[in-house]
A and B are shown apart, each in its own frame.
Chain A
Amino acid sequence: MAAILNIFKNFPRYLWSGWGAIASIFLFIALWELGYQAYGELVLPAPKDTFLRLVNMLLHEGIWKEMQITIQRALWGFVISVTIGSSLGLLAGLFVTTSMMSRPLVTIFMGMPPIAWIVLAMIWFGMGDTAVIFTVVVASFPIVFIGALQGTRTLENNLKEMAESFHAPLLMKIKDIYFPHIFSYIFPSWIAALGMSWKIVVMAELLSSYDGIGAELAVTRSQLDTEGALALVLMLVISLLFIEYFLMEPIKREVEQWRD
Protein backbone atom coordinates (compact mmCIF):
# COMPACT_ATOMS: atom_id res chain seq x y z
CA MET A 1 0.00 0.00 0.00
CA ALA A 2 2.79 2.38 0.99
CA ALA A 3 4.52 1.50 -2.27
CA ILE A 4 1.48 2.54 -4.34
CA LEU A 5 1.24 5.80 -2.42
CA ASN A 6 4.93 6.44 -3.02
CA ILE A 7 4.47 5.90 -6.73
CA PHE A 8 1.87 8.67 -6.84
CA LYS A 9 3.89 10.90 -4.56
CA ASN A 10 7.01 10.67 -6.72
CA PHE A 11 5.10 10.96 -9.99
CA PRO A 12 5.31 14.78 -10.46
CA ARG A 13 9.06 14.76 -9.85
CA TYR A 14 9.41 11.89 -12.28
CA LEU A 15 7.41 13.79 -14.91
CA TRP A 16 9.57 16.86 -14.43
CA SER A 17 12.65 14.74 -15.15
CA GLY A 18 11.18 14.02 -18.60
CA TRP A 19 12.19 17.29 -20.29
CA GLY A 20 15.32 15.75 -21.75
CA ALA A 21 13.29 12.93 -23.27
CA ILE A 22 10.79 15.38 -24.73
CA ALA A 23 13.59 17.44 -26.24
CA SER A 24 15.04 14.39 -27.94
CA ILE A 25 11.61 13.42 -29.30
CA PHE A 26 11.19 16.90 -30.78
CA LEU A 27 14.60 16.60 -32.36
CA PHE A 28 13.46 13.36 -33.93
CA ILE A 29 10.34 15.08 -35.30
CA ALA A 30 12.54 17.83 -36.76
CA LEU A 31 14.61 15.20 -38.60
CA TRP A 32 11.39 13.65 -39.84
CA GLU A 33 10.34 17.04 -41.22
CA LEU A 34 13.72 17.27 -42.95
CA GLY A 35 13.13 13.88 -44.52
CA TYR A 36 9.73 15.02 -45.75
CA GLN A 37 11.22 18.11 -47.35
CA ALA A 38 13.90 16.08 -49.05
CA TYR A 39 11.88 13.13 -50.34
CA GLY A 40 8.32 14.33 -50.69
CA GLU A 41 4.93 13.30 -49.46
CA LEU A 42 4.69 9.82 -50.93
CA VAL A 43 7.82 8.58 -49.21
CA LEU A 44 7.54 10.49 -45.96
CA PRO A 45 4.48 12.63 -45.25
CA ALA A 46 4.96 15.75 -43.14
CA PRO A 47 4.79 15.24 -39.36
CA LYS A 48 2.11 17.88 -39.09
CA ASP A 49 -0.12 16.17 -41.70
CA THR A 50 0.44 12.81 -40.03
CA PHE A 51 -0.57 14.17 -36.62
CA LEU A 52 -3.65 15.81 -38.13
CA ARG A 53 -4.52 12.55 -39.85
CA LEU A 54 -4.13 10.75 -36.53
CA VAL A 55 -6.49 13.16 -34.83
CA ASN A 56 -8.92 12.76 -37.69
CA MET A 57 -8.71 8.98 -37.42
CA LEU A 58 -9.44 9.12 -33.73
CA LEU A 59 -12.32 11.57 -34.12
CA HIS A 60 -14.02 10.46 -37.33
CA GLU A 61 -12.73 7.22 -38.80
CA GLY A 62 -13.79 4.87 -36.01
CA ILE A 63 -10.25 3.75 -35.26
CA TRP A 64 -11.08 3.41 -31.56
CA LYS A 65 -12.89 0.17 -32.23
CA GLU A 66 -9.89 -1.32 -34.03
CA MET A 67 -7.61 -0.05 -31.29
CA GLN A 68 -9.75 -1.72 -28.69
CA ILE A 69 -9.61 -5.04 -30.52
CA THR A 70 -5.83 -4.83 -30.77
CA ILE A 71 -5.37 -3.85 -27.14
CA GLN A 72 -7.58 -6.70 -26.05
CA ARG A 73 -5.57 -9.22 -28.07
CA ALA A 74 -2.25 -7.85 -26.87
CA LEU A 75 -3.39 -7.91 -23.25
CA TRP A 76 -4.80 -11.43 -23.50
CA GLY A 77 -1.57 -12.61 -25.05
CA PHE A 78 0.43 -10.77 -22.39
CA VAL A 79 -1.61 -12.10 -19.48
CA ILE A 80 -1.48 -15.67 -20.76
CA SER A 81 2.27 -15.57 -21.37
CA VAL A 82 2.93 -13.96 -17.99
CA THR A 83 0.82 -16.56 -16.20
CA ILE A 84 2.22 -19.57 -18.01
CA GLY A 85 5.76 -18.20 -18.27
CA SER A 86 6.03 -17.22 -14.60
CA SER A 87 4.57 -20.41 -13.19
CA LEU A 88 6.43 -22.79 -15.50
CA GLY A 89 9.65 -20.81 -15.08
CA LEU A 90 9.39 -20.96 -11.29
CA LEU A 91 8.68 -24.67 -11.34
CA ALA A 92 11.48 -25.39 -13.78
CA GLY A 93 13.90 -23.32 -11.71
CA LEU A 94 13.24 -25.38 -8.59
CA PHE A 95 14.96 -28.43 -10.02
CA VAL A 96 18.35 -28.65 -11.71
CA THR A 97 17.13 -31.26 -14.19
CA THR A 98 14.10 -29.30 -15.36
CA SER A 99 16.07 -26.09 -15.69
CA MET A 100 18.74 -27.83 -17.72
CA MET A 101 16.13 -29.50 -19.90
CA SER A 102 14.11 -26.36 -20.50
CA ARG A 103 17.06 -24.18 -21.53
CA PRO A 104 17.47 -25.56 -25.09
CA LEU A 105 13.70 -25.62 -25.57
CA VAL A 106 13.49 -21.96 -24.69
CA THR A 107 16.35 -21.20 -27.06
CA ILE A 108 14.39 -22.92 -29.83
CA PHE A 109 11.27 -20.92 -28.96
CA MET A 110 13.24 -17.68 -28.84
CA GLY A 111 15.14 -18.45 -32.02
CA MET A 112 12.05 -19.27 -34.05
CA PRO A 113 11.00 -16.10 -35.92
CA PRO A 114 7.50 -14.88 -34.96
CA ILE A 115 6.62 -14.65 -38.63
CA ALA A 116 7.00 -18.43 -38.88
CA TRP A 117 4.68 -18.87 -35.93
CA ILE A 118 2.10 -16.69 -37.66
CA VAL A 119 2.05 -18.98 -40.68
CA LEU A 120 1.62 -22.03 -38.45
CA ALA A 121 -1.04 -20.29 -36.38
CA MET A 122 -3.00 -19.40 -39.51
CA ILE A 123 -2.92 -23.04 -40.62
CA TRP A 124 -3.91 -24.33 -37.17
CA PHE A 125 -6.46 -21.76 -36.08
CA GLY A 126 -7.52 -19.91 -39.24
CA MET A 127 -7.84 -16.11 -39.44
CA GLY A 128 -8.88 -14.26 -36.27
CA ASP A 129 -8.36 -13.80 -32.55
CA THR A 130 -6.90 -17.18 -31.70
CA ALA A 131 -4.15 -17.04 -34.29
CA VAL A 132 -3.12 -13.54 -33.18
CA ILE A 133 -3.19 -14.28 -29.47
CA PHE A 134 -1.34 -17.56 -30.01
CA THR A 135 1.44 -15.75 -31.84
CA VAL A 136 1.72 -13.15 -29.11
CA VAL A 137 1.92 -15.84 -26.44
CA VAL A 138 4.53 -17.89 -28.27
CA ALA A 139 6.70 -14.85 -28.82
CA SER A 140 6.56 -13.34 -25.33
CA PHE A 141 6.21 -16.40 -23.12
CA PRO A 142 9.89 -17.46 -23.38
CA ILE A 143 11.04 -14.04 -22.13
CA VAL A 144 9.00 -14.40 -18.95
CA PHE A 145 9.96 -18.04 -18.59
CA ILE A 146 13.68 -17.21 -18.69
CA GLY A 147 13.19 -14.40 -16.15
CA ALA A 148 11.37 -16.67 -13.71
CA LEU A 149 13.84 -19.49 -14.24
CA GLN A 150 16.84 -17.29 -13.54
CA GLY A 151 15.12 -15.79 -10.53
CA THR A 152 14.62 -19.18 -8.93
CA ARG A 153 18.02 -20.55 -9.96
CA THR A 154 19.94 -17.64 -8.50
CA LEU A 155 18.36 -17.71 -5.03
CA GLU A 156 21.21 -17.09 -2.64
CA ASN A 157 22.09 -19.74 -0.15
CA ASN A 158 23.81 -17.13 2.03
CA LEU A 159 20.61 -15.26 2.74
CA LYS A 160 18.69 -18.48 3.26
CA GLU A 161 21.28 -19.55 5.82
CA MET A 162 21.05 -16.18 7.53
CA ALA A 163 17.27 -16.51 7.75
CA GLU A 164 17.61 -20.02 9.14
CA SER A 165 20.05 -18.84 11.79
CA PHE A 166 17.25 -16.58 13.06
CA HIS A 167 14.72 -19.44 12.79
CA ALA A 168 12.61 -17.40 10.38
CA PRO A 169 9.33 -19.19 9.65
CA LEU A 170 8.74 -20.42 6.09
CA LEU A 171 6.17 -17.76 5.29
CA MET A 172 8.59 -15.03 6.29
CA LYS A 173 11.36 -16.60 4.24
CA ILE A 174 9.06 -16.64 1.22
CA LYS A 175 7.88 -13.08 1.77
CA ASP A 176 11.17 -11.42 2.72
CA ILE A 177 13.76 -13.47 0.86
CA TYR A 178 12.47 -15.60 -1.99
CA PHE A 179 9.75 -13.33 -3.34
CA PRO A 180 11.74 -10.06 -3.57
CA HIS A 181 14.62 -11.86 -5.22
CA ILE A 182 12.50 -13.70 -7.78
CA PHE A 183 10.38 -10.63 -8.40
CA SER A 184 13.48 -8.60 -9.20
CA TYR A 185 14.09 -10.98 -12.09
CA ILE A 186 10.50 -11.55 -13.17
CA PHE A 187 9.34 -7.94 -13.23
CA PRO A 188 11.78 -6.69 -15.90
CA SER A 189 10.86 -9.75 -17.98
CA TRP A 190 7.18 -8.75 -17.72
CA ILE A 191 8.01 -5.31 -19.07
CA ALA A 192 9.99 -6.83 -21.92
CA ALA A 193 7.11 -9.22 -22.63
CA LEU A 194 4.63 -6.35 -22.72
CA GLY A 195 6.71 -4.50 -25.30
CA MET A 196 7.03 -7.71 -27.28
CA SER A 197 3.25 -8.35 -27.16
CA TRP A 198 2.60 -4.87 -28.44
CA LYS A 199 4.84 -5.32 -31.46
CA ILE A 200 3.86 -8.88 -32.29
CA VAL A 201 0.12 -8.23 -32.07
CA VAL A 202 0.26 -5.74 -34.94
CA MET A 203 2.39 -7.98 -37.06
CA ALA A 204 0.13 -10.96 -36.46
CA GLU A 205 -2.97 -8.90 -37.23
CA LEU A 206 -1.49 -7.61 -40.44
CA LEU A 207 -1.22 -11.14 -41.77
CA SER A 208 -3.85 -13.18 -40.01
CA SER A 209 -6.79 -10.98 -39.17
CA TYR A 210 -9.49 -8.84 -40.76
CA ASP A 211 -9.73 -6.35 -37.92
CA GLY A 212 -7.48 -4.50 -35.47
CA ILE A 213 -4.76 -1.93 -36.08
CA GLY A 214 -2.63 -4.45 -37.95
CA ALA A 215 -5.41 -5.11 -40.44
CA GLU A 216 -5.88 -1.35 -40.87
CA LEU A 217 -2.19 -1.10 -41.65
CA ALA A 218 -2.62 -3.74 -44.34
CA VAL A 219 -5.40 -1.63 -45.86
CA THR A 220 -3.25 1.51 -45.92
CA ARG A 221 -0.51 -0.49 -47.60
CA SER A 222 -2.81 -1.73 -50.35
CA GLN A 223 -4.02 1.82 -50.93
CA LEU A 224 -0.49 3.25 -50.85
CA ASP A 225 -1.71 5.53 -48.07
CA THR A 226 1.65 6.42 -46.49
CA GLU A 227 0.13 9.11 -44.33
CA GLY A 228 -2.45 6.69 -42.95
CA ALA A 229 0.21 4.06 -42.30
CA LEU A 230 2.42 6.53 -40.46
CA ALA A 231 -0.53 7.81 -38.44
CA LEU A 232 -1.24 4.24 -37.30
CA VAL A 233 2.41 3.63 -36.46
CA LEU A 234 2.40 6.87 -34.50
CA MET A 235 -0.60 5.71 -32.56
CA LEU A 236 1.10 2.45 -31.64
CA VAL A 237 4.31 4.16 -30.63
CA ILE A 238 2.52 6.77 -28.54
CA SER A 239 0.46 4.15 -26.75
CA LEU A 240 3.55 2.06 -26.04
CA LEU A 241 5.45 5.10 -24.77
CA PHE A 242 2.50 5.89 -22.57
CA ILE A 243 2.35 2.41 -21.05
CA GLU A 244 6.10 2.21 -20.69
CA TYR A 245 6.75 5.62 -19.15
CA PHE A 246 3.54 6.36 -17.31
CA LEU A 247 2.73 2.94 -15.97
CA MET A 248 5.69 0.59 -15.95
CA GLU A 249 8.60 2.95 -15.26
CA PRO A 250 7.12 4.53 -12.09
CA ILE A 251 6.32 1.08 -10.73
CA LYS A 252 9.78 -0.12 -11.64
CA ARG A 253 11.39 2.84 -9.89
CA GLU A 254 9.47 2.15 -6.73
CA VAL A 255 10.00 -1.60 -6.55
CA GLU A 256 13.63 -1.49 -7.63
CA GLN A 257 14.94 1.44 -5.64
CA TRP A 258 17.12 -0.90 -3.60
CA ARG A 259 19.12 -1.77 -6.71
CA ASP A 260 22.47 -0.29 -7.63
Chain B
Amino acid sequence: MERLKPIIGSCLAKPPLTKSHLQVTALNHSFGPTNILKDIDFCLEQGKVVAIVGPSGCGKTTLLHLCAKLLAVNDGIVDNTFNSFAIAFQEPRLLPWQTALDNIAFGLKAKGINKKQRYQQAVSISKVFGLTPHDLDKYPKDLSGGMRQRVAFARAMVTKPELLFLDEPFSALDIGLKQELQQILVQHVTKKNTTILFITHDLMEAVRLSDEILLLANSPGSIVHRLTLDTPIINRDDQFVYHETAKLLAQPKVIQTFELSMNLNTAVEHEIS
Protein backbone atom coordinates (compact mmCIF):
# COMPACT_ATOMS: atom_id res chain seq x y z
CA MET B 1 0.00 0.00 0.00
CA GLU B 2 3.08 2.20 0.24
CA ARG B 3 2.67 3.22 -3.38
CA LEU B 4 -0.91 4.33 -2.99
CA LYS B 5 -0.27 7.24 -0.66
CA PRO B 6 -1.16 10.63 -2.13
CA ILE B 7 1.67 12.29 -3.95
CA ILE B 8 2.04 15.14 -6.42
CA GLY B 9 -0.78 15.34 -8.91
CA SER B 10 -3.28 13.90 -6.47
CA CYS B 11 -6.69 15.44 -5.95
CA LEU B 12 -6.52 14.22 -2.36
CA ALA B 13 -3.59 16.51 -1.66
CA LYS B 14 -5.97 19.43 -2.11
CA PRO B 15 -9.14 20.30 -0.13
CA PRO B 16 -11.89 17.64 -0.39
CA LEU B 17 -13.70 17.62 -3.69
CA THR B 18 -17.37 17.92 -4.33
CA LYS B 19 -16.84 18.07 -8.09
CA SER B 20 -16.32 15.02 -10.29
CA HIS B 21 -12.77 13.97 -10.96
CA LEU B 22 -10.55 11.46 -12.66
CA GLN B 23 -7.89 10.39 -10.23
CA VAL B 24 -5.06 8.18 -11.40
CA THR B 25 -2.87 6.79 -8.64
CA ALA B 26 0.30 4.70 -8.91
CA LEU B 27 -0.74 3.30 -12.26
CA ASN B 28 1.52 0.74 -13.91
CA HIS B 29 0.88 -1.21 -17.05
CA SER B 30 2.72 -3.87 -19.00
CA PHE B 31 2.07 -5.71 -22.22
CA GLY B 32 3.67 -9.07 -21.54
CA PRO B 33 7.22 -8.44 -20.31
CA THR B 34 7.32 -4.89 -21.70
CA ASN B 35 6.71 -2.18 -19.14
CA ILE B 36 4.62 0.52 -20.82
CA LEU B 37 3.60 2.83 -17.98
CA LYS B 38 5.28 3.37 -14.65
CA ASP B 39 3.95 5.12 -11.54
CA ILE B 40 1.53 7.45 -13.22
CA ASP B 41 -0.18 9.91 -10.87
CA PHE B 42 -2.40 12.76 -11.85
CA CYS B 43 -5.74 14.27 -11.17
CA LEU B 44 -8.20 15.78 -13.59
CA GLU B 45 -10.84 17.96 -12.00
CA GLN B 46 -14.15 18.93 -13.48
CA GLY B 47 -13.93 21.72 -16.04
CA LYS B 48 -10.18 21.37 -16.48
CA VAL B 49 -8.16 20.29 -19.47
CA VAL B 50 -5.11 18.12 -18.86
CA ALA B 51 -2.77 17.41 -21.74
CA ILE B 52 -0.49 14.42 -21.78
CA VAL B 53 2.42 15.16 -24.05
CA GLY B 54 5.12 12.81 -25.15
CA PRO B 55 6.95 11.36 -28.12
CA SER B 56 5.39 8.60 -30.22
CA GLY B 57 5.26 5.22 -28.54
CA CYS B 58 5.60 6.50 -24.96
CA GLY B 59 2.33 4.91 -23.86
CA LYS B 60 0.01 7.92 -24.19
CA THR B 61 -2.72 6.00 -25.94
CA THR B 62 -2.40 3.10 -23.50
CA LEU B 63 -2.87 5.56 -20.64
CA LEU B 64 -5.97 6.97 -22.28
CA HIS B 65 -7.38 3.49 -22.88
CA LEU B 66 -6.83 2.64 -19.22
CA CYS B 67 -8.61 5.83 -18.13
CA ALA B 68 -11.48 5.16 -20.54
CA LYS B 69 -11.79 1.54 -19.37
CA LEU B 70 -11.01 0.19 -22.83
CA LEU B 71 -8.16 -1.68 -21.14
CA ALA B 72 -8.35 -3.40 -17.77
CA VAL B 73 -6.31 -1.80 -14.99
CA ASN B 74 -4.01 -4.41 -13.44
CA ASP B 75 -1.80 -2.36 -11.19
CA GLY B 76 -2.82 0.94 -9.62
CA ILE B 77 -6.07 2.87 -9.29
CA VAL B 78 -8.11 4.78 -11.84
CA ASP B 79 -10.92 6.51 -10.02
CA ASN B 80 -13.38 8.07 -12.43
CA THR B 81 -16.39 9.79 -10.86
CA PHE B 82 -17.64 11.38 -14.08
CA ASN B 83 -21.01 10.12 -15.17
CA SER B 84 -20.30 9.97 -18.86
CA PHE B 85 -17.40 10.14 -21.24
CA ALA B 86 -16.68 10.06 -24.95
CA ILE B 87 -13.55 9.61 -27.03
CA ALA B 88 -12.38 11.37 -30.16
CA PHE B 89 -9.80 9.06 -31.69
CA GLN B 90 -6.77 9.85 -33.78
CA GLU B 91 -8.55 8.48 -36.84
CA PRO B 92 -12.22 9.37 -37.25
CA ARG B 93 -13.33 5.71 -36.91
CA LEU B 94 -16.61 6.28 -38.69
CA LEU B 95 -18.78 3.39 -39.79
CA PRO B 96 -18.25 3.35 -43.58
CA TRP B 97 -21.70 1.84 -44.20
CA GLN B 98 -23.57 4.61 -42.40
CA THR B 99 -24.19 8.18 -43.48
CA ALA B 100 -22.58 11.06 -41.60
CA LEU B 101 -25.90 11.67 -39.82
CA ASP B 102 -26.13 8.08 -38.57
CA ASN B 103 -22.50 8.19 -37.56
CA ILE B 104 -23.04 11.30 -35.45
CA ALA B 105 -26.11 9.73 -33.87
CA PHE B 106 -24.24 6.51 -33.02
CA GLY B 107 -23.58 7.37 -29.38
CA LEU B 108 -27.18 8.51 -28.91
CA LYS B 109 -28.44 5.27 -30.40
CA ALA B 110 -26.24 3.36 -27.98
CA LYS B 111 -27.97 5.27 -25.19
CA GLY B 112 -31.33 4.09 -26.49
CA ILE B 113 -32.62 7.49 -27.64
CA ASN B 114 -35.32 7.22 -30.31
CA LYS B 115 -34.61 7.91 -33.95
CA LYS B 116 -36.39 11.23 -34.27
CA GLN B 117 -34.71 12.75 -31.23
CA ARG B 118 -31.26 11.50 -32.05
CA TYR B 119 -31.48 12.87 -35.59
CA GLN B 120 -32.65 16.22 -34.23
CA GLN B 121 -29.73 16.43 -31.82
CA ALA B 122 -27.28 15.21 -34.46
CA VAL B 123 -28.42 17.83 -36.94
CA SER B 124 -28.17 20.62 -34.41
CA ILE B 125 -24.63 19.70 -33.29
CA SER B 126 -23.51 19.20 -36.89
CA LYS B 127 -24.08 22.92 -37.47
CA VAL B 128 -21.71 23.76 -34.61
CA PHE B 129 -19.00 21.72 -36.33
CA GLY B 130 -19.60 23.33 -39.71
CA LEU B 131 -21.35 20.45 -41.46
CA THR B 132 -24.06 21.21 -44.00
CA PRO B 133 -27.29 19.16 -44.33
CA HIS B 134 -25.88 17.98 -47.65
CA ASP B 135 -22.80 16.55 -45.90
CA LEU B 136 -25.00 14.65 -43.46
CA ASP B 137 -26.44 12.47 -46.22
CA LYS B 138 -23.01 11.46 -47.45
CA TYR B 139 -21.14 8.27 -46.66
CA PRO B 140 -17.68 8.72 -45.10
CA LYS B 141 -16.00 7.76 -48.41
CA ASP B 142 -17.45 10.93 -49.96
CA LEU B 143 -16.20 13.21 -47.17
CA SER B 144 -12.74 14.77 -46.97
CA GLY B 145 -10.40 13.93 -44.09
CA GLY B 146 -11.28 17.15 -42.29
CA MET B 147 -14.99 16.58 -42.71
CA ARG B 148 -14.68 13.07 -41.32
CA GLN B 149 -12.91 14.39 -38.27
CA ARG B 150 -15.69 16.96 -37.80
CA VAL B 151 -18.21 14.14 -37.90
CA ALA B 152 -16.15 12.23 -35.34
CA PHE B 153 -16.08 15.27 -33.04
CA ALA B 154 -19.78 15.81 -33.44
CA ARG B 155 -20.38 12.15 -32.61
CA ALA B 156 -18.35 12.49 -29.42
CA MET B 157 -19.88 15.83 -28.35
CA VAL B 158 -23.51 15.10 -29.14
CA THR B 159 -23.70 12.69 -26.20
CA LYS B 160 -22.87 15.66 -23.93
CA PRO B 161 -20.05 13.85 -22.15
CA GLU B 162 -18.86 15.19 -18.81
CA LEU B 163 -15.40 13.92 -19.65
CA LEU B 164 -13.92 14.00 -23.12
CA PHE B 165 -10.89 11.99 -24.13
CA LEU B 166 -8.98 13.34 -27.10
CA ASP B 167 -6.45 10.97 -28.63
CA GLU B 168 -4.45 13.20 -30.99
CA PRO B 169 -7.54 13.95 -33.04
CA PHE B 170 -5.91 16.93 -34.78
CA SER B 171 -2.71 15.23 -35.84
CA ALA B 172 -3.77 14.36 -39.40
CA LEU B 173 -5.29 17.76 -40.19
CA ASP B 174 -3.70 20.69 -41.97
CA ILE B 175 -2.84 23.74 -39.92
CA GLY B 176 -5.86 25.87 -40.86
CA LEU B 177 -8.34 23.10 -40.22
CA LYS B 178 -6.58 22.22 -37.00
CA GLN B 179 -7.00 25.75 -35.65
CA GLU B 180 -10.60 25.97 -36.76
CA LEU B 181 -11.55 22.70 -35.10
CA GLN B 182 -9.63 23.59 -31.95
CA GLN B 183 -11.47 26.89 -31.84
CA ILE B 184 -14.85 25.22 -32.18
CA LEU B 185 -13.92 22.72 -29.54
CA VAL B 186 -12.68 25.36 -27.08
CA GLN B 187 -15.88 27.38 -27.44
CA HIS B 188 -18.11 24.36 -27.13
CA VAL B 189 -16.22 22.97 -24.17
CA THR B 190 -16.11 26.28 -22.29
CA LYS B 191 -19.84 26.67 -22.75
CA LYS B 192 -20.64 23.18 -21.53
CA ASN B 193 -17.89 23.10 -18.87
CA THR B 194 -16.58 19.81 -20.27
CA THR B 195 -13.52 18.19 -18.75
CA ILE B 196 -10.85 16.98 -21.17
CA LEU B 197 -8.00 14.55 -21.08
CA PHE B 198 -6.01 15.48 -24.12
CA ILE B 199 -3.26 13.39 -25.65
CA THR B 200 -0.86 14.90 -28.14
CA HIS B 201 2.72 14.96 -29.31
CA ASP B 202 2.40 18.60 -30.29
CA LEU B 203 3.61 20.90 -27.51
CA MET B 204 2.09 24.01 -29.05
CA GLU B 205 -1.29 22.37 -29.23
CA ALA B 206 -0.99 21.36 -25.59
CA VAL B 207 -0.07 24.91 -24.56
CA ARG B 208 -2.99 26.33 -26.52
CA LEU B 209 -5.65 24.02 -25.15
CA SER B 210 -4.83 22.84 -21.66
CA ASP B 211 -4.72 23.94 -18.01
CA GLU B 212 -2.07 21.44 -17.07
CA ILE B 213 0.57 19.71 -19.17
CA LEU B 214 2.06 16.39 -18.14
CA LEU B 215 5.18 15.32 -19.97
CA LEU B 216 5.37 11.58 -20.48
CA ALA B 217 8.86 10.16 -21.12
CA ASN B 218 9.64 7.05 -23.07
CA SER B 219 10.19 3.42 -22.01
CA PRO B 220 8.67 2.98 -19.57
CA GLY B 221 6.23 5.88 -19.79
CA SER B 222 6.41 8.02 -16.68
CA ILE B 223 5.57 11.62 -15.94
CA VAL B 224 8.81 13.61 -15.85
CA HIS B 225 7.51 17.17 -15.90
CA ARG B 226 4.34 19.00 -14.92
CA LEU B 227 3.34 22.49 -15.98
CA THR B 228 0.28 24.43 -14.92
CA LEU B 229 -0.95 27.27 -17.13
CA ASP B 230 -3.12 29.82 -15.34
CA THR B 231 -4.29 31.98 -18.24
CA PRO B 232 -7.85 30.98 -19.18
CA ILE B 233 -7.85 28.93 -22.40
CA ILE B 234 -10.24 31.28 -24.15
CA ASN B 235 -7.87 34.24 -23.58
CA ARG B 236 -4.75 32.64 -25.04
CA ASP B 237 -3.46 34.33 -28.15
CA ASP B 238 -0.69 33.25 -30.51
CA GLN B 239 1.81 35.37 -28.62
CA PHE B 240 1.08 33.53 -25.41
CA VAL B 241 1.24 30.13 -27.10
CA TYR B 242 4.57 30.83 -28.82
CA HIS B 243 6.06 32.28 -25.66
CA GLU B 244 4.97 29.43 -23.39
CA THR B 245 5.96 26.78 -25.93
CA ALA B 246 9.40 28.31 -26.28
CA LYS B 247 9.77 28.31 -22.50
CA LEU B 248 8.68 24.70 -22.35
CA LEU B 249 11.05 23.71 -25.14
CA ALA B 250 13.94 25.15 -23.18
CA GLN B 251 13.28 22.78 -20.26
CA PRO B 252 16.00 20.11 -19.97
CA LYS B 253 13.38 17.41 -19.34
CA VAL B 254 11.55 18.31 -22.53
CA ILE B 255 14.76 18.36 -24.54
CA GLN B 256 15.70 14.98 -23.14
CA THR B 257 12.27 13.42 -23.65
CA PHE B 258 11.91 14.48 -27.24
CA GLU B 259 15.62 13.85 -27.88
CA LEU B 260 15.83 17.40 -29.17
CA SER B 261 19.45 18.23 -28.33
CA MET B 262 20.70 14.96 -29.72
CA ASN B 263 19.00 15.54 -33.03
CA LEU B 264 20.25 19.13 -33.13
CA ASN B 265 23.80 18.06 -32.38
CA THR B 266 23.71 15.43 -35.10
CA ALA B 267 22.36 18.02 -37.50
CA VAL B 268 25.15 20.40 -36.59
CA GLU B 269 27.75 17.67 -36.98
CA HIS B 270 26.35 16.91 -40.41
CA GLU B 271 26.60 20.56 -41.25
CA ILE B 272 30.25 20.74 -40.19
CA SER B 273 31.32 17.58 -41.97
Residues of A at the B interface (CB closer than 8 Å) are 158-159, 161-169, 172, 176-177, 180-181, 184, 257-260
Contacts and interface: CB of A to CB of B under 8 A. Distances in A.
Contact of A180 (B89, B95, B111, B140): B95
Contact of A166 (B91, B106, B140): B106
Interface of B: 68, 70, 85-87, 89, 91, 93, 95-98, 106-107, 109-111, 139-141, 159, 165
A159 B111 CA distance: 17
Given A158-B93, A176-B98, A259-B141, A165 B109 contact: no
A172 B89 contact: no
B70 A166 contact: no
27 contacts: A158-B91, A158-B93, A159-B95, A162-B87, A162-B89, A162-B93, A163-B106, A164-B70, A165-B68, A165-B85, A165-B165, A166-B86, A166-B106, A166-B159, A168-B106, A169-B110, A172-B109, A176-B95, A180-B95, A180-B97, A184-B97, A257-B139, A258-B96, A258-B140, A258-B141, A259-B141, A260-B141
Contacts, number: 53
Contacts of B109: 168, 172, 176
A163 B94 CA distance: 10
Nearest to B102: A176
Contacts of B140: 258
Contact of B95 (A161, A164, A177): A177
B69 to A, nearest CB: 9
A116 B111 CA distance: 56
Contact of B86 (A165, A184, A257): A165
Contacts of A167: 110-111
The 9 closest A-B pairs by CB, nearest first: A168-B110, A180-B97, A166-B107, A258-B139, A162-B93, A166-B110, A165-B87, A258-B97, A260-B141
B193 to A, nearest CB: 21
Given A165-B165, A166-B110, A176-B106, 13 more contacts: A158-B89, A158-B93, A161-B70, A162-B89, A165-B68, A166-B86, A168-B106, A172-B110, A184-B97, A257-B139, A258-B97, A258-B139, A258-B140
Contacts of B87: 162, 165
Contacts of A162: 87, 89, 93
Contacts of A159: 93, 95
Nearest to A165: B87
A165 B93 CA distance: 12
Contacts of A168: 106, 109-110
A176 B159 CA distance: 18
A184 to B, nearest CB: 7
A177 B95 CA distance: 7
A181 B96 CA distance: 9
A166 B96 CA distance: 17
Contacts of B89: 158, 161-162
A162 B95 CA distance: 10
A172 B107 CA distance: 11
